[in-house]
Amino acid sequence: WIGRSEGLEIDFPVGGETIRVFTTRPDTLFGVTFMALAPDHPLSLKEAESNPKLEAFIEECRSVGTAEAELATLEKKGVPTSIQAIHPITGDVIPVWVANFIVMEYGSGAVMGVPAHDQRDWEFARAHDIPTPRVIEPLEGEPGDLEKGADVIYGRLVNSGEYTGLTSEEAFDALAIHFEKEGTGCRKVNYRLRDWGVSRQRYWGCPVPAVHTADGQTVPASELPVVLPEDVTFKGVKSPIKEMPSFYETTVDGEPARRETDTFDTFVESSWYYARFACPDSNDAMLDERANYWLPVDQYIGGIEHAILHLLYARFWHKAMRDEGLVQSDEPFTNLLCQGMVHGDTYGRDPGDSKIEYYNADEVEVQRGAKGRVIGATLKADGKPVEYLGMLKMSKSKRNGIDPQPYLDRYGADTVRLFMMSKSPPELSLEFSDADVEGAFRFMKAFWKRVAAHVSEGAVPALDVAALDERQRALRRKLHETIEGVSDDVGRRYKFNTAIAKLRALINAMDDFDDRSDQGRSVLDECWDAIVRMLAPIAPHCCQALWEGLGHDTLLMNEAWPDPDPAAMVRDTVGMVVQVNGKLRGRIRVSTEAEQKDVEAAALADPNVRRFVEGKQVRKVIVVPGKIVNIVVT
């Protein structure tokens, strides 16, 4: 939230020099089709000496602001240069542009353009007819339409040479190892920090407590606080206090002076409210000791505009208060979650004046294809076609909002909560889908039936860990690995969708466990007990009833979260996927202490892998420890 980003710095050769690029998405490296330099980059300035068009463009860029909000909406302009970079892996020639949306203050002032998977790059590429090859495909579902925009996803690499088939996460590690070994790149953390201009030429706000003397000096106001006058008369758009002598006329040491009429940015006032909330009735001081009792704030939840602006400012302000002795903590907030937006099916019709008339889904008769996609729609009122505009952010103006009440009445609150938490991570957009709500309802019904069937089998004997056989220990290990993973997803990462996916995977493993012996049922009982507790924050009503069915008479919300048992999770071996040229060809198990050469040998010895390797030259073996082996053959 202070612009911290983890990525790689990668060197792109340019003649006898290099352009060092910082990227948070090295997994998209094979999709680079251009490079863009900031107008003030040294290579840009050097090129401009012999390129009048570029020189004029750079001057034009200097007259435009570099704030995040301005850059996000800026028309993507650029000028090609005579500079050519070389792709650090493929050796392909990459054209270099100077672009108006690149700033020197972040990274190295140069970016690698990957238009298929970055929206700004996509907009620039479309404007300048630059190729847009896909190099990432989703792990599940259909890829996005590159004719409509960039497909900004993490997934599996395609068209990426020897790295094809790796996930985005695996490719990050593998490429970091490659560049660090070659000495042409390294892991790097960057911060997007800027200066903050706090004065505003408007009436509403806290007056800047400064006074300008007759000899041109600016001094702090001696009488505090400086109160914004309310008996003002507005004339046009100008701040009324700028023409209000009763406010701005004052004296310093008996000499006439003029009070500053600018006011502070309203973010100045909102940058410390959280501390004042702890002591709102403190009349003698800005803050008192109660602020230190409550701070720092445990969790901040807000939209992305907060991450760019308010939280950054609040951090500056908090450190100033710390330096003045008003608070003791170094940071104002412990954790931040930027929630995404809810998207819904959107329908409309262009009456010809370029102003689309929108219709709610209830007003439209929808035709869907075999896979459930919208293939046509007509307005119920007149029977005439309307256009399906896709999944867009829900808003009153687009009339694509969803009334949750019918879903609550039909499926229950727990189902709706489960759908919303499992559909996507909270920081990404959520596409509201009737089919997905129905899927969540099926899961809840099946979950209820499974627990009820377990309870109907009668009392469960006490668990004896020492008496467990191999299959029982394996399921119990799966349980405690799930507890550990879900605890991290919920408590640290806020990835509720992956937490639910882990619980589903555990339940599937339990379905395959057909042991109904005393200790087998004891392990199952431990599983259901933990699952009910972990799912309770998402589906509290159903889980409370199941908790009682499992023999408990307490309020589930007061129960402790389950703790993973480290002893249950001990493994002697680990499973790894083996790929040949990016395609899955085998799975192996190796010792957790195995060295890389032993892992490579085990992978090459796998019978199915050998079928695809025999008679071919092994060019390279990439090992991502504990996860994957990718064998490159020709």
- Position 371 in a domain: no
Report helix, strand or coil for 17: strand
Q: Do 564 and 580 fall within a single domain?
A: no
Q: Do 610 and 557 fall within a single domain?
A: no
- Position 244 in a domain: yes
Q: What is the reported pLDDT for 61? A: 87
Q: Last residue of some domain: 338, 356, 378?
A: 338
Q: Specify the long-range contacts of residues 20-26, CB closer than 8 Å, at least 24 apart.
A: 20/108, 20/110, 21/107, 21/108, 21/110, 21/111, 21/112, 22/106, 22/107, 22/108, 22/111, 22/188, 22/190, 23/111, 23/112, 25/114, 25/117, 25/118, 25/168, 26/171, 26/172, 26/175, 26/176
- Position 615 in a domain: yes
The partner residues of 378 in beta bridges, in order of sequence, read 365, 385
Mean pLDDT of the chain: 91
- Asked if 85 and 96 touch (Cβ cutoff 8 Å), the reply is yes
- Position 392 in a domain: no
The string of pLDDT tens digits covering residues 576-616 is 999 999 899 999 999 888 999 999 999 999 999 999 999 99
Q: Which segments of 183-249 does DSSP mark as H helices, in order?
A: 245-248
Mean pLDDT of 130-135: 96
Q: Do 530 and 460 fall within a single domain?
A: yes
Mean pLDDT of 379-403: 92
pLDDT at 124 exceeding the cut of 70: yes
Nearest CA among 625, 633, 593 for reference residue 609: 633
- Position 383 in a domain: no
Instruction: Read off φ and ψ for residue 588, nearest 5 degrees.
Output: -130, 160
Q: Worst-scoring range by mean pLDDT, 199-208, 298-307, 423-432, 463-472?
A: 298-307
Q: Do 35 and 149 fall within a single domain?
A: yes
Q: Worst-scoring range by mean pLDDT, 189-193, 223-227, 311-315?
A: 189-193
**Domain of residue 130, CATH code:** 3.90.740.10
Q: Last residue of some domain: 125, 155, 190?
A: 190
Q: What is the dihedral of CA 105, 110, 115, 119, to 10 degrees?
A: 0
Q: Do 186 and 206 fall within a single domain?
A: no
The string of pLDDT tens digits covering residues 323-355 is 999 999 999 999 888 888 888 999 999 877 667
- Radius of gyration of the chain measured on its C-alpha atoms: 31
Q: Do 105 and 249 fall within a single domain?
A: no
| Residue that wins the pLDDT comparison between 95 and 426 | 95
Q: Do 453 and 465 fall within a single domain?
A: yes
Q: Do 11 and 127 fall within a single domain?
A: yes
- Position 369 in a domain: no
The string of pLDDT tens digits covering residues 438-450 is 999 999 999 999 9
Q: Do 216 and 282 fall within a single domain?
A: no
pLDDT at 396 exceeding the cut of 60: yes
Q: What is the reported pLDDT for 209? A: 93
pLDDT band for 31, please (50, 70, 90 cuts).
very high
pLDDT at 417 exceeding the cut of 90: yes
The string of pLDDT tens digits covering residues 172-204 is 999 999 999 999 999 998 776 667 788 999 998
Output the six-digit token pair for 59: 């001057």
Helix (H) or strand (E) holding 4: none
Q: Do 283 and 215 fall within a single domain?
A: no
**Domain of residue 598, CATH code:** 3.10.20.590
CA distance 109 to 384: 52
Q: Do 11 and 79 fall within a single domain?
A: yes
Mean pLDDT of 30-55: 94
pLDDT band for 1, please (50, 70, 90 cuts).
very low
pLDDT at 70 exceeding the cut of 60: no
pLDDT at 66 exceeding the cut of 60: no
Checking DSSP bridges between strand 336-338 and strand 342-349, what pairing results, if any? unpaired
Q: What is the 3-state secondary structure (H, E, C) of 103-125?
A: CCCCCCCEEEECCCCCHHHHHHH
Q: Do 253 and 296 fall within a single domain?
A: no
Checking DSSP bridges between strand 583-591 and strand 573-580, what pairing results, if any? antiparallel
The string of pLDDT tens digits covering residues 486-533 is 999 998 888 999 999 999 999 999 999 999 999 999 999 999 999 999
Q: Last residue of some domain: 213, 241, 264?
A: 264
Checking DSSP bridges between strand 583-591 and strand 430-431, what pairing results, if any? unpaired
Q: What is the reported pLDDT for 74? A: 64
pLDDT at 257 exceeding the cut of 70: yes
Nearest CA among 120, 53, 48, 130 for reference residue 83: 48
Q: What is the reported pLDDT for 312? A: 81
Which residue type does 210 have? A
- Position 428 in a domain: no
The total number of structural domains in the chain stands at 5
| Segments forming the whole domain that contains residue 462 | 434-569
- Position 183 in a domain: yes
Rounded percentage of the chain residues whose pLDDT exceeds 90? 70
